[in-house]
């Protein structure tokens, strides 16, 4: 499989303050200082119950290709950076350890989804690309999963390339949409580079270029008799589009030994039109001819259309998916949580008047607890790095915001979520095939209770802290509180 990042060195795709800090760390003798950083996010897009992790493959490709070119070096020379630091950049080699939650996994606010341990200059340098890569694809994968859940067993196709915020957003957005639940994309390059099935039929211009609609349909049907889907709303769906499509099917598809694949409606009241279209196709002897709907759809419109009885078999979703228009930002952040002193990680905490922005300190692990009988996810637990959750015994969960709310769970399986992807700068993880990631995503979403998957007012899935981690966080809060008095 080819990869669109293989020929691109994106080392300089950093916020400039990463470089000013790196230069400062170097000149202050902190080049080899080991730090721990976590990426996490604070809220789920669209006020949903969970998000979907995506973008890890592209993050791996980026980390594999970190190096500064002569052109890069010349920029820092012009900026007046320290000469010894510039020489350090000439010989730069990535050497961090990196852990990540695998792509396709449901993720929740507050838990580390990427953890980086290594020299502070390196760990700081990669902040921008970690955030933009994981934020973007997780946003689109999350939106796609909402669309797929709204559509049920019907097909969802990603149609958003022309509305994406640039070509990378189109390419990687289509990839993320497939992981999240879409069945195909209109973005052809994604089939070449990632194996995402590319689909498409015709635009209105095809119909308009011929003498009349029937002639256009017949020409297309002759060209693709084995895969004939016709766009029927160029002039009038019910008066001309569907009657002409039926005639073209009879003239050009059936005589060649094939059955028509479908019609597509791209405007109007699609719920009403699809009901009428279904009856017309059935009466003409084409009950197997599918109805495809497109035109500024989202999960709420799709859900309402199906509640109202729309006879749609598949949906093409464009701008509102590829831009995640209803919530176009995935608020992932990257924060330092510990610094090594004499080989021991010493916790760091960020305080804020905004309680949501207070970080959880320490080098950590994340576990997901699954009920052994139902297979459903019970809660996630963040622990200290050296803690193990013994799932042969009962375990006490407590709400870190309301610590008196406690619950003992038993008969569960504790699964660590963060897996190591880089060891001292060397990749030690093989990215799965995208079809396997998509399958894994579907399986993992099924482990969530339906209440967590609701679109409106979803049940809060708990991300708890272990008692030891909570005690350490409280100690730091109390310590800083005393200092500020």
Residue 435 scores a pLDDT above 80: yes
Residues 117 and 261 occupy one common structural domain: no
Domain boundary among the residues 267, 292, 317 is at 292
Q: What is the pLDDT of residues 358-370, one digit of tens each?
A: 999 999 999 999 9
Q: What pTM did the predictor assign? A: 0.96
Integer angstrom CA distances of residue 274 from 267, 269, 271, 388, 451: 11, 8, 5, 55, 31
Helix pair 83-90, 70-78: axis angle to 10 deg = 170
Average pLDDT of span 314-325 = 98
Kindly report the CATH number assigned to the domain that includes residue 270. Answer: 3.20.20.70
Residues 241 and 363 occupy one common structural domain: no
Query: Count of domains in the chain?
Result: 2
Residue 230, in any domain of the structure: yes
Is residue 295 within 8 Å of 160, Cβ to Cβ?
Answer: no
Residue 90 scores a pLDDT above 80: yes
Residues 366 and 276 occupy one common structural domain: no
Residues 266 and 381 occupy one common structural domain: no
Mean pLDDT, the chain, rounded, equals 96
Domain boundary among the residues 292, 312, 346 is at 292
Residue 302, in any domain of the structure: no
Residue 7 scores a pLDDT above 80: no
Confidence of residue 481 (pLDDT cuts 50, 70, 90): confident
Distance between CA atoms of residues 393 and 319, nearest Å: 49
Residue 112, in any domain of the structure: yes
Residue 360, in any domain of the structure: yes
Residue 133, in any domain of the structure: yes
Residue 79, in any domain of the structure: yes
Domain extent for 278: 201-292
Average pLDDT of span 179-203 = 97
Residues 356 and 279 occupy one common structural domain: no
Domain boundary among the residues 244, 263, 292 is at 292
Distance between CA atoms of residues 417 and 334, nearest Å: 18
**H or E stretch including 36?**
strand 34-41
Residue 485 scores a pLDDT above 90: no
Kindly report the CATH number assigned to the domain that includes residue 46. Answer: 3.20.140.10
Residue 321, in any domain of the structure: no
Distance between CA atoms of residues 9 and 94, nearest Å: 14
Burial class (CB in 10 A: 0-12, 13-18, 19+), 18: middle
């Amino acid at each position: 499989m080819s990869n669109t990042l293989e020929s691109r060195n994106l080392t300089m795709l950093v916020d400039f303050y990463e470089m000013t800090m790196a230069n400062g760390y170097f000149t202050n003798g902190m080049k080899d200082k080991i730090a721990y950083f976590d990426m996490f996010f604070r809220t789920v897009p669209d006020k949903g119950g969970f998000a979907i992790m995506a973008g890890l493959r592209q993050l791996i490709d980026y980390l594999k290709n970190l190096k500064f070119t002569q052109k890069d070096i010349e920029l820092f020379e012009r900026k007046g950076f320290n000469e010894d630091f510039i020489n350090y950049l000439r010989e730069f080699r990535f050497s961090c350890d990196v852990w990540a939650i695998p792509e396709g996994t449901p993720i929740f606010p507050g838990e580390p989804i990427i953890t980086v341990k290594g020299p502070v200059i390196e760990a700081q340098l990669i902040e921008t690309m970690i955030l933009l890569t994981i934020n973007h694809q997780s946003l689109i994968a999350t939106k796609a999963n909402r669309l797929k859940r709204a559509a049920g067993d019907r097909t969802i196709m990603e149609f958003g390339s022309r509305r994406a915020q640039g070509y990378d957003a189109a390419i990687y957005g289509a990839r993320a949409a497939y992981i999240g639940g879409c069945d195909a994309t209109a973005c052809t390059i994604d089939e070449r580079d990632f194996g995402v099935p590319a689909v498409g039929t015709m635009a209105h211009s095809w119909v308009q270029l011929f003498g009349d609609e029937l002639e256009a349909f017949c020409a297309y049907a002759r060209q693709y008799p084995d895969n004939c889907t016709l766009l029927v709303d160029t002039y009038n769906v019910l008066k001309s589009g569907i009657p002409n499509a039926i005639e073209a099917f009879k003239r050009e598809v059936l005589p060649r030994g094939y059955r028509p694949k479908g019609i597509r409606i791209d405007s109007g009241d699609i719920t009403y039109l699809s009901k009428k279209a279904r009856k017309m196709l059935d009466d003409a002897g084409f009950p197997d001819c599918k109805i495809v709907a497109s035109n500024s759809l989202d999960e709420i419109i799709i859900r309402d259309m199906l509640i109202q009885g729309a006879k749609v078999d598949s949906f093409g979703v464009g701008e509102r998916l590829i831009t995640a228009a209803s919530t176009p930002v995935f608020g992932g952040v990257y924060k330092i949580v510990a610094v090594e002193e004499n080989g021991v990680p010493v916790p760091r905490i960020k305080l804020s008047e905004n309680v949501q922005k207070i970080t959880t300190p320490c080098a950590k692990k994340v576990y997901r607890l699954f009920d052994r009988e139902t297979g459903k996810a019970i809660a996630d637990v963040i622990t200290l790095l050296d803690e193990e959750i013994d799932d042969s015994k009962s375990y006490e969960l407590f709400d870190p915001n309301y610590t008196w709310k406690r619950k003992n769970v038993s008969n569960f399986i504790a699964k660590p979520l963060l897996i190591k992807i880089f060891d001292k700068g060397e990749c030690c993880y093989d990215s799965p095939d995208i079809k396997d990631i998509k399958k894994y995503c579907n399986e993992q979403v099924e482990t969530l209770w339906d209440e967590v998957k609701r679109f409106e007012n979803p049940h809060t899935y708990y991300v708890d802290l272990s008692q030891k981690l909570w005690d350490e966080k409280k100690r730091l809060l109390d310590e800083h509180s005393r200092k500020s008095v």
